[in-house]
A and B are shown apart, each in its own frame.
Chain A
Amino acid sequence: DAKTTQPPSMDCAEGRAANLPCNHSTISGNEYVYWYRQIHSQGPQYIIHGLKNNETNEMASLIITEDRKSSTLILPHATLRDTAVYYCIVLNAGNNRKLIWGLGTSLAVNP
């Protein structure tokens, strides 16, 4: 599975959009980009995933560059409850779907 690189920490003002970047320059054609978050040592929570098209759901939007070497998770109106560690993971479905976790980005949403 391709390795991902994320900034270790970010800050965001409450009510503003939070844009979390992820680099995955070695991603291959059949690998998906998944985002999870972990709030204060709770179980990881699935957010969104995509292959090459941009995706949106009730939680977030995922923007994947045309060359697929990077992506951005967008939380459109961050709230204090969005404070968490956000993990970007590249997954090859053929590899038994085990998730390889990095250290993620610790997002602090400030009032």
Chain B
Amino acid sequence: NAGVMQNPRHLVRRRGQEARLRCSPMKGHSHVYWYRQLPEEGLKFMVYLQKENIIDESGMPKERFSAEFPKEGPSILRIQQVVRGDSAAYFCASSPRTGDNTEAFFGQGTRLTVV
């Protein structure tokens, strides 16, 4: 059972370009979470999705950022018109359900550098 797969592992974008980050959850997991980690800081929650639904996007900036988790295929975090402040590590986690006794498993992250 493969773990949570994120790609690319490293992404370099010029200011103003678009960044697309992909996350394939573990097999059988229908819940996906995206987190952002700035250098020397802890992770910050961005968005929580289930298949075809955004459940909680309270941590995601209102502009330029969007996320989806289609019926088929990976979850996508999309950042339009990137700025230098978007440079960070973006982690995806998945879990099978929202019961009390389940843990989330994380991918290895995508490190976005905006130049």
Contact = CB atoms under 8 A, between A and B. Distances in A.
Contacts of B107: 43
Interface residues of B, number: 31
Contact of B103 (A49, A51, A87): A49
Interface string A73-111: 000000000000001000001001111111110000000
Point out which of A43, A93, A96 has the most chain B C-beta atoms below 10 A from its C-beta.
A43
B43 A101 contact: yes
Interface magnitude class on chain A:
20 to 34
User: Which secondary structure dominates where chain B touches chain A?
Assistant: strand
A98 B45 contact: yes
Nearest to B41: A103
A98 B42 contact: no
A87 B41 CA distance: 12
B104 A46 contact: yes
Contacts of A9: none
Given A98-B33, A98-B59, A103 B42 contact: yes
B69 interface: no
Interface of A: 30, 32, 34, 41-46, 49, 51, 87, 93, 96-104
27 contacts: A30-B100, A32-B100, A34-B103, A43-B106, A43-B107, A43-B109, A46-B104, A46-B106, A49-B103, A51-B100, A87-B42, A93-B98, A93-B99, A93-B100, A96-B48, A96-B55, A96-B98, A97-B33, A97-B48, A97-B95, A97-B104, A98-B33, A99-B33, A99-B43, A99-B45, A101-B44, A102-B42
